[in-house]
Amino acid sequence: MKYEKLCKQIIELVGGKENIEAVVHCMTRLRFTLKDQELANANKDALKAIPEVIDVVSNKVSFQIIIGTEVNQIHPELLTLLGMKESEEPKVKKNIFKAILDVMSESISPIIPAMMAVGLMAGVLAIFVAAGVLKDTSPTYIIFNSIKDGLFYFLPIFMAVSASKRLGAPMYLGILLAGTLLTTSLNGVEGLSLFGLPLQTITYSNTFIPILLGLWFMGRVNKVLVKIIPKSLEYFFSPLLLIAITLPVTLFLFGPIGTWISDGLTIGVEFLTGTFGTWIVLALYAACQPLLIMMGAGNFIVPLVLAAFASQGYEEIFIPAFIISDLAVSGAMLGYFIRSKNKEQKQFFGSVAFSAFMGITEPAVFGAFVKYRRPFIAVMIGGGLGGLFAGLMHVKAYAMTNLFGLVSFIGNKDHNNFYFMIIALVIGFVVSLAAGYLLWLPKNEIEAETVIDQVESKSTLNTVPIATPVSGEVKSLAEVKDDAFSSGALGTGVGIVPTDNLIKSPIKGKVASLFPTNHAIGVVSEEGVEVLIHIGIDTVDLKGQYFEALVEQGAEVDLGSPLIEVDFEQVKAAGYDPTVIMIITNTQDYLEVLPNLDEDNSLNNDLITVIM
């Protein structure tokens, strides 16, 4: 047993045999299901200190030890020591609270462009009124201002469109349910009864929780009806029964529950602000948002934000805080960009700084913050101070928007609110930039830059070109939404958003490994370069569905040989990120591995250059 010592160390540090319920593996990591995960969490540092271990990831689903491509050799030995047999990954009970937040977030995301349009329109109208171009009593103003009423009044219909598929309800029946709730016969009407039983007076406009609950119930009922209604009668009776069953349950049960939840969220926000002060909560969220994103906990604010808009017409904590935090992340990365002397790192820090400025901070968080750690401190300082100022000045967001919708902060002719928000953003950005510049990288990273500069100065080097495995949009590895890959811990490489279903060999060589679910394949070139192609994020959970291997392990392949055919449309429909990741797993064996992100990569035979 080649890895016996390593396996024994891992078993001991995760809490011993008796603490392990199951262990499976994907292409690069061991995934443990543990009885008491805290026992393993207490030993995370010791696990990371093991030379063969790249990183340790602990979450609600599993405890993961990232090792690299040798994991397929380590796993059988680990099972032998545990006395277990090879098995599929067990189904893990999902965190209900997280699942609810995920549904809300995924349902609201498609509506965000409409919400941002409303916010920008509100800002433009405010500017026109302030400039004397329009009066707030003019028909033109009233017509354009009604866009906001159109969105929030009919919010249940928007939610029905975006959430029906996610919840398993037929979309048009979901829209019918939402439209029915908004009719003048039901919406906010007092003294109604159904089957002789009194109904609570509920206002269904400007809220989303009752319709989400109704759609969830409709999805459950739909599954039952599909099983019991004969196919020949399904077309005629299933829609009728679905709406006839769901509407009364929504009126009697989900309407009141939704109202209670909305009121509870409002009370919760009022408790936070009343107990700790709006300014403290805003400052803390602006300082800590990157940490929440890293932990996958950024979605919890969605119901709180919508509840605030529904009850107050504005939101004064989370929207100002996340805009300030995003700009602080951009500032910290710009500080790193200014301080860095290495061309490749300058390109990386510059790209993630711009991405954060545009409101997309994941590349910076997973590509730089996780790796260097110190940017977290820079954002906590800058974002915290910016958030503190915004909180003390009682800045309010009158629409769900981002940096480019700042004019919406004028809202209700409140120009000071807009000016205070601008000042808060400047504080967050400038302080984070200065902190990022001063904190910079640890000494070993600076030394690593010097080595890279020396390598780049050499003129006579042997190189191995690695071609594009699939047509598509190429992006830096830092932008890939899997921190094990994006941090570069498993090797240097690139991500590709595919536009073709055929994965081809990027080199001439041999298929060294083919994962049983066909979602990942390793090819070794004639020069010994180890290329790992990982198809999609977390697609191991699909257990081979939509993936068809066109080669076998051990097969000799030429440049461009078909390897795997993937139905990416089905992968995306199943809710998975289809990004194809290609990395050089033995990066450390070479002077440098350079991704090429500058050309048309659909025909680029030099997507990655390995300097021997």
CA separation, residue 557 to residues 2, 498, 501, 518, 533 (Å): 29, 21, 19, 17, 14
- d(CA 12, CA 208) in angstroms, rounded, equals 48
C-alpha dihedral (327, 331, 337, 338), degrees to nearest 10? 150
Please report, in angstroms and rounded to a whole number, the separation of the first and last CA atoms in the chain. 32
Go through 393-410 and write b for each residue having 16 or more CB atoms within 10 A of its CB, e for each that does not: bebbbbbbbbeebbbbbb
* DSSP code per residue over 122-178: HHHHHHHHHTTS--TTSHHHHHHHHHHHHHHHTHHHHHHHHHHHHHT--HHHHHHHH
- d(CA 451, CA 433) in angstroms, rounded, equals 26
Catalytic residues: 26
CA separation, residue 29 to residues 67, 68, 517 (Å): 5, 6, 15
Which residues, other chains included, contact 150 with Cβ-Cβ below 8 Å and sequence gap of 6+?
none
| 409: phi then psi, degrees, rounded to nearest 5 | -70, -10
- Mapped to the 3 state alphabet, what secondary structure does 445-506 carry? HHHHHHHHHHHHHCCCCCEEEECCCCCEEEEEHHHCCCHHHHCCCCCEEEEEEECCCEEECC
CA separation, residue 320 to residues 402, 434, 441 (Å): 9, 21, 29
- d(CA 464, CA 609) in angstroms, rounded, equals 6
- d(CA 533, CA 528) in angstroms, rounded, equals 16
Cβ pair 186, 214 in contact under 8 A: no
The pair of structure tokens assigned to 467 is: 């071609």
- d(CA 14, CA 8) in angstroms, rounded, equals 10
